Amino acid sequence: MSSVAERMRAVAAERRRDLGIVAALIVLALLYPTVVGSLQSLPLVGDFVPSVDSMVNMVVFTTMAVGLNIVVGYAGLLDLGYVAFYAAGAYTAGWLASSQFSQLDAHLGDVGFSTGTPGIHVSMWLVLVIAGIFTTVVGIAIGLPTLRLRGDYLAIMTLGFGEIIPQFVRNGDSIGGFNLTNGTFGISPIDSLGFGGIGDAIGLPDSFRQSAERSQWFFWTAVAILLVTVFCSVRLRDSRLGRAWVAIREDETAAGAMGIPLMRTKTWAYALGAFFGGVAGAFYASFKAGAFPADFFFNISVFLLTMVILGGMGSVWGVILGGMVLGYLNVEGLATIGSKIQDAGVNFDPTKYQFGIYGVIIVLMMLFRPAGLIPERRHKIELIEGVHDTPFYDVQREGTLTDRDASDD
């Protein structure tokens, strides 16, 4: 009983420590826009401090990585087409919050526009939710025919869907004479987030894009979306559905034999992962004021998958760390490092080898830290204590004695 009580106290202490760390990180994130100027003026390290706009990019891609972690990390479904959900969310924003359909005049809670402005202009806050729901439906539509497959076949199928969506939006400017996606030009401008007249009355910006503190408002909103995504991801992981995902990841055949509905459980993982990708895509489209086909190439799917691998598949905090590290390198880190190298007289530009560098990171991680920077607890225990299954070579050596029990020796 004493050991159980000690274990419970240790778990409670660990949770208090984690909550303290999370609270401190949230406070630091909220204060970042106000201190970034001072940090950038520091000697030696100031040039490496990312701007607030760069932080928005990093947080958005980290949010998508946390969503992908539900599919890849929790359920063990290798998804090489996650960019499709990012595109679906961004184009949902383009259709519902721009002048793309100029023949219409529909307004619902929009900010910064007067009645009579052509197009559909729905409040971007609503668009974020609608984009999430739409991509969930897309995820189910894609998942139903693909999730019957396993392993390499599933990865190839998702890769195919990831290629179909960008090709569709690139060539969707004349579908039976109807301009749905505006082709290679994309949809621009897309409406901004904002609090409208109600917010203006209490000191909040009417429109983020027209505010003098544009970057910080988008940054704080991106952090809020990431926090909601993390909260949902953690709660899902600890739920009955999350345990079913882990069971499928560990052994799909055994999970099915134990009564877990495989198709329904895997579809839930795909749909929920798609939801967060769609929300992040719609937000990013509002931040960039446009949705462009060039943003949705296959390399984005690989980039997001690299974030999950670097951080640790199945580990929420690891994926956040991996996403922020790779997001920083992608947005301005490699460029800053390259300028420092060239200032030292070496003619080398790492941005030319961007994806080669990410590939090297994956190889090094697989060789030296396969469970990621912050491994998931289950993976960490397996690495430290091993699993109880006997490897094949031991079967050859021990014959039928495969349980590693000392009494068998």
SS3 of residue 121 by DSSP: strand
Q: Are 114 and 128 in contact (CB under 8 A)?
A: no
What are the CA-CA distances from residue 290 to residues 65, 186, 191, 286 (Å)?
Answer: 21, 7, 9, 7
The predicted pLDDT at position 407 comes to 45
At which residue do the structure tokens 């009580």 appear?
5
The predicted pLDDT at position 284 comes to 95
pTM value? 0.88
Sequence-ordered list of residues with C-beta below 8 angstroms from that of 32, at least 6 positions apart, any chain: 52, 55, 219
The predicted pLDDT at position 17 comes to 77
Q: What six digits make up the tokens of 204?
A: 């909040």
Q: Are 316 and 70 in contact (CB under 8 A)?
A: no
| Size (the chain), residues | 409
Output the tens digit of pLDDT for each of the chain's 409 residues. Answer: 566 777 777 777 777 877 888 888 889 888 999 999 999 998 888 889 999 999 999 999 999 999 999 999 999 998 888 999 999 999 999 999 999 998 888 888 877 666 677 889 999 999 999 999 999 999 898 888 877 777 778 888 888 888 888 889 989 988 888 899 999 999 999 999 988 877 777 778 888 988 888 999 999 999 999 999 999 999 999 999 999 999 999 888 899 999 999 989 999 998 999 999 999 999 999 999 999 998 888 889 989 999 999 999 999 999 999 999 999 999 989 999 999 898 888 888 888 888 888 888 888 888 888 888 988 877 777 766 665 555 444 545 544 444 444 444 4
CA distance 132 to 129: 5
The predicted pLDDT at position 385 comes to 66
**What is the CA angle 208-210-216, rounded to 5?**
40
Residue extents of the structural domains in the chain: 1-49, 55-297
Q: What six digits make up the tokens of 244?
A: 């079913």
CA distance 74 to 315: 9
